[in-house]
Amino acid sequence: MKIRSTTVISVRHNGEVVVAGDGQVTMGSAIIKHQARKVRRLYNGKVITGFAGATADALTLFDKLEQKLEQYGGNLKRSAVELAKDWRSDKILRRFEALMIAVDKDYSFLLSGTGDVIEPDNGIIAIGSGGPYAQSAAQALIEHSNLDAEAICRVSMGIASSICIYTNDKIIVEKL
């Protein structure tokens, strides 16, 4: 049975970076958890990550990214590239079904098992089943409101949760 879950968004706006994620986990047509924590801080709170996909895979990737951050002195860019290389080439890791957002004070990245390390042009990254809804809302809010990054994330997540059946309104927000 396929587990579906998640909307996670990161917004970098006016000197702030915020990552927000919902708490819903769905198995088939049933909601099995309402308050999963898909957003976490790493490297002494200097890096915020969020995941979409298989939970065990994502937790392993959090650990792997933390190890890379330790190895490279907190350099998120280098750590993200090295994790993506491992993720793509390792026999076990390459089977992982997850996407990850990783941000620090300087960078925002989307990481995937295909070796992607993508830095968005506009400071917005969204993943998961409700990601396109949240990203569209955030883009509109940045262009047509005076909201700060946290408010943009909260409103965008609210919009995604009203559209995507795999996203709820139990939002976790982390801010740098």
State the catalytic residues.
Answer: 6
Element at 27 (helix H, strand E): strand 25-27
Residue 140's contacts (CB-CB under 8 Å, 6 or more residues apart) are: none
User: 135-168: buried (b, 16+ CB within 10 Å) or exposed (e) per residue?
Assistant: bbbbbebbeeeebbbbebbbbbbebbbeebebbb
Place of tokens 């809010």: 141
Quick one: 45 exposed, middle or buried, by C-beta within 10 A (0-12, 13-18, 19+)? exposed
Tokens of 158: 């609210």
- Scanning 14-170, the segments in alpha helix (DSSP H) are 55-71, 76-89, 131-144, 149-163
